[in-house]
Amino acid sequence: MESVKGKLVKPLFVALSVMLPGLFFSCGESKQNTLTPEEIAEGWQLLFDGQTLNGWRDYNGATLATPWHVVDDCIQAKGEGSDASGYIVTDRQYENFVLSWDFKLSKGGNSGMLYHVVERPQFAVPYVTGPEYQLIDDENFEGLEPWQKMGVDYAMYTPDAGRMKVNPSGQWNTAKIVFDNGHVEHWMNDVKILEFEAWTDDWFARKNSGKWADAPEYGLARKGVICLQDHGYPASFRNIKIKELPRKTTEVDLFNGLNLDGWEAYGTELWYVKDGLLFCESGPDKKYGYLATRAYYDDFDLTVEFKQDANGNSGVFIRSFIEEGVKVNGWQVEVAPSGHDTGGIYESYGRGWLIQIPDEKESVLQMGEWNTMRIRMQGDNVKTWLNGKEMVDFTDDKIGAGQGRIALQIHDGGGIKVAWKNLKLTTL
């Protein structure tokens, strides 16, 4: 018995595909893996040159050791992977794009094309972060659920079955993903089979009620590497090409003044709305608590007003993710009582303080009054201002490689109460 991303199913005819690999995986046809002059002019790029595995490496790795190889102008999964291994990814990250490829499966074959995959040691497999265009031989699997079949956005959205025209195993098909600032399309053999909007209320309802309910970072990344899956069955790919699309600038009110829509709380500390203000307050456990956006924001200009009603030991996390339980992993712009570096940057794991504010700027904070914090995050540079005064201007490679949520923190120890309002963000 083999699994399809965690569900036990029984493949048919696998032995035949292994005994006669040439029958299903010979790629020697007309010249492949090239771009026309028109495609080059439109900005298309090849992700596979037809001869080498240059530009690909193991997921969470620096080199390529996973069992993939090049045969007859095809990049091929040898069929030695599993749910826990066998993934290769592009060297580069991609955000908005049109991605097209040809694929051919063995009988009973199971593979996939994932995108927006995040690489961190905390994520053992790519599918807990990256959405997947499912590639599977429906006809020769038993027990597939609709959300596991060919062309689905795996465990999220299913295609229009009436528009599905798929050539059988051993024959070539052409698939395409369009990801345009949250608008998603799946295509099969030049027909659009599926369309949806990412990060809507419907999208989050599906994410939080299904397979991904215990994968808090699934699908949130707005950019990431592209990933091919060897799920224990031979599969062939060619003509893998991508055209990048521009990012759209948007303005976002992170807090609507009415409720906590758009946020997710972690921990037992108190987060509530009263008189149009957002409050964090120590609960009876007196532990760390976080209120995190349910969406990722990587490059942005954020302003937020805060008032420290008691103690005031808090903070604004940037490019952060939920690692386990109540633990938030990322970088914090400090909000703290006077004399404790409000506006400085602290790393929540490893390095601790990255940059503290000059002593002469400690007087900029007005305890017990409304303060305005501005955070500008772009690439590897972060700048902060407090009440119109620049506090830090810091550049760091690790921050540059990060991505994730914005999260408000309440520190442990008890006795803390902070009010927040006017959390306004512009994406860059």
Assess whether pLDDT exceeds 70 at residue 9: no
What letter represents residue 196's amino acid? F
For the record, the structure tokens of 222 come out as: 């707005």
Q: Report residue 30's pLDDT band, with 50, 70 and 90 as the boundaries.
A: low
Assess whether pLDDT exceeds 80 at residue 287: yes
Please give the sequence-ordered ranges of beta strands (E in DSSP) within 5-131, or none if there are none.
Answer: 7-11, 44-46, 56-58, 68-71, 74-77, 87-94, 97-105, 110-117
Please tell me the predicted confidence (pLDDT) of residue 16. Answer: 37
Sign of CA dihedral 331, 336, 339, 343: positive
| DSSP per-residue string spanning 187-198 | EETTEEEEEEET
Q: Report residue 14's pLDDT band, with 50, 70 and 90 as the boundaries.
A: very low
Pick from 23-37, 202-216, 315-329, 373-387: least confident: 23-37
Find residue 263's DSSP bridge partners.
Answer: 293
Pairing of strands 277-281, 289-296: unpaired
Of 327, 313, 319, nearest to 293 by C-alpha is 319
What is the number of helices (H) and of strands (E) in the chain? Answer: 5, 31
**pLDDT single digits (tens) 142-180:** 889 999 999 999 999 999 999 999 999 999 999 999 999
Q: Are 118 and 224 in contact (CB under 8 A)?
A: yes
Q: Distance between terminal CA atoms of the chain?
A: 48
Assess whether pLDDT exceeds 80 at residue 18: no
Domains and CATH numbers, the chain: 2-244 (2.60.120.560), 251-427 (2.60.120.560)
For the record, the structure tokens of 398 come out as: 């690790």
Q: Are 56 and 46 in contact (CB under 8 A)?
A: no
User: Which pTM value belongs to this model?
Assistant: 0.85
Please tell me the predicted confidence (pLDDT) of residue 81. Answer: 83
Cα-based angle 213, 217, 219 (whole degrees, multiple of 5): 90
For the record, the structure tokens of 394 come out as: 């810091």
